[in-house]
Amino acid sequence: MSESGSDLDATEHTALMDGHIAEARPDRELAERIARKRKTKSDNQRSYGSVEQIEGGPSGASIAQQPRVPAAPVEPQIEELELKYGARHVIKLFVPVTLCMLVVVATISSINFYSVKDVYLAYTPFHEESPYASTKVWNALANSMILLCVIALMTVLLIVLYKKKCYKTIHGWLILSSLILLFLFSYLYIEEALIAYNIPMDYITLGFVLWNFGVMGMIVIHWKGPLRLQQAYLIFIAALMALVFIKYLPEWTTWAVLAVISIWDLVAVLTPKGPLRILVETAQERNEPIFPALIYSSTVMYCMAAASPAPGAAGTVEGEGRDGTEAGGGEAGFDAAWRERRDEGAAPRRLRVDSAPPRYVTRLDPPHAPPHAPDLDEEKGVKLGLGDFIFYSVLVGKASSYGDWNTTLACFVAILIGLCLTLLLLAILKKALPALPISITFGLIFYFATRSVVKPFADALAAEQVFI
């Protein structure tokens, strides 16, 4: 501490605490600086040390530990940050959903392969070949229930493996699925695109391009890579799966599957024993990210390990001295002379209290973790399951396969409105919500309303040469 004309012996407990510096000093500017510094640090990153009690000495001075009084949170600032955070990530989800639907619509419009019904999935044994509508209805319902049972069984199997921590099995499963999509279905897509646009290409070049495309996709999805590249691959995979469903599902079964899968999504996420809810809660309990191959994130999905500090080292957050410069080092605000006297075994020097505030240094203790434990930090962001991308694109792609752009645009707008409402509920309720029910319900309503009412009305106006 600094020398002054009037020296007062410290005969009472004294503490150096950054939370009360603004109260001890009438300098308003210093108080504002300290307040700004405290706002920039989140509460979960703070763990302040304190000065150890020293007994004895000729003056009987002691420095006692006092608890730090937590500051009350500023609610308006938190709400403002949440609104900004939510609005930014709403836009970050609108863009990939739109791109995925545009890829499917463009493919359906330009490549006839995905509009021809010649082969069906093994899970849809009823092919709706009867001319009667009632037969087609129960065929579609039967196919959709069979497909739903398969999806539910696979989901429960995934949850069981995750609960048992069979991570290698899950990763192998996901890697095999990604291999099939990135190589086999990508080959079929590229081949049909080359045929549709009449572009010649030899098999050697095709194999070289496909190999590089597939290997790069496996790296960025299951390991790490540029965020934009990972997002692009996930969007392409979702579009491929949507095209597969449009191609290999019977006509009426597609609409029945969309309705049934929305109800299943509602049950799986919101019910207490729903499998998707169990998956999310288990991942939160273990503080683990859900597998990147299943989730589209608006921020980085993989975790980066930061370099750990040296053993015994602790970070310091330094305040500012009276002259505006940074306060020097030292232990809990004591200078080098005091440390030398302590190391030599001398009695502690008497403490004097100045009228001016002392220079201070706040110790920042490391969190409850071993010295060499990696600091895993996953950036926050809104996450949307790839299944949501797939079924959004199935609805819009199926609507575009009939060649009516009014219906296609109506379904597109309906899905975006439903997604916006879902994200609004997410910001209000602050828990995992199903993304399919609202969007798919709006999409189905807009599709059948536009197909049954708007399209005949527009055709009648065009036939009568009436323009609105």
Domain chopping of the chain, boundaries:
84-298+380-403
Per the CB < 8 A criterion, the answer to whether 59 and 7 are in contact is no
Per the CB < 8 A criterion, the answer to whether 440 and 258 are in contact is yes
Per the CB < 8 A criterion, the answer to whether 21 and 68 are in contact is no
Gyration radius of the chain over CA positions: 32
Catalytic residues: 265, 388
Torsion angle, CA of 212/294/157/146, rounded to 10 degrees?
-90
Degrees to nearest 5, angle at CA 77 with 76 and 83: 90
Q: Return the sign of the alpha-carbon dihedral for residues 230, 236, 238, 244.
A: negative
What are the start-end ranges of the E strands in 331-407?
361-364, 375-377, 383-385
Instruction: Give CA separation, 398 vs 197, 361, 412, in Å.
Output: 22, 65, 11
pLDDT at position 289, please?
80
Residue-wise pLDDT for 229-249, tens only, equals 999 999 999 999 999 999 999
Whole-angstrom distance, CA of residue 368 vs CA of residue 387: 38
What tokens were used for 448? Answer: 């059948």
Residue-wise pLDDT for 113-163, tens only, equals 998 888 888 889 998 888 898 999 999 999 999 999 999 999 999 999 999
pLDDT at position 310, please?
37
Whole-angstrom distance, CA of residue 370 vs CA of residue 296: 32
295, containing H or E segment: strand 295-297
Q: How far is CA 152 from the centre of its chain?
A: 24
pLDDT at position 162, please?
92
Closest CA to 299 of 226, 381, 231: 381
Mean pLDDT by 10 residues, the chain (468 residues): 43 37 44 58 45 43 45 53 60 90 95 89 88 91 94 92 92 93 94 94 95 95 90 94 94 94 92 89 86 72 35 37 38 53 54 47 43 42 84 95 91 94 86 90 95 88 82
pLDDT at position 417, please?
94
Closest CA to 393 of 16, 19, 105: 105
Annotate 34-50 with b (16+ C-beta within 10 A) or e (fewer): beeeeeeeeeeeeeeeb
pLDDT at position 223, please?
87
pLDDT at position 38, please?
56
**If you search the block for the tokens 């080292």, which residue do you land on?**
313
The residues, ordered by sequence, that sit 6+ positions from 258 with a Cβ below 8 Å of its Cβ are 391, 394, 395, 440, 443, 444
Whole-angstrom distance, CA of residue 50 vs CA of residue 360: 12
Does this model's pTM top 0.85? My answer is: no
pLDDT at position 345, please?
56
Q: Helix, strand, or coil here: 331?
A: strand
Q: Give the count of beta carbons closer than 10 Å to the beta carbon of residue 345.
A: 6
Tell me the CB-side half-sphere exposure of residue 278, using CA atoms within 13 A.
Answer: 16
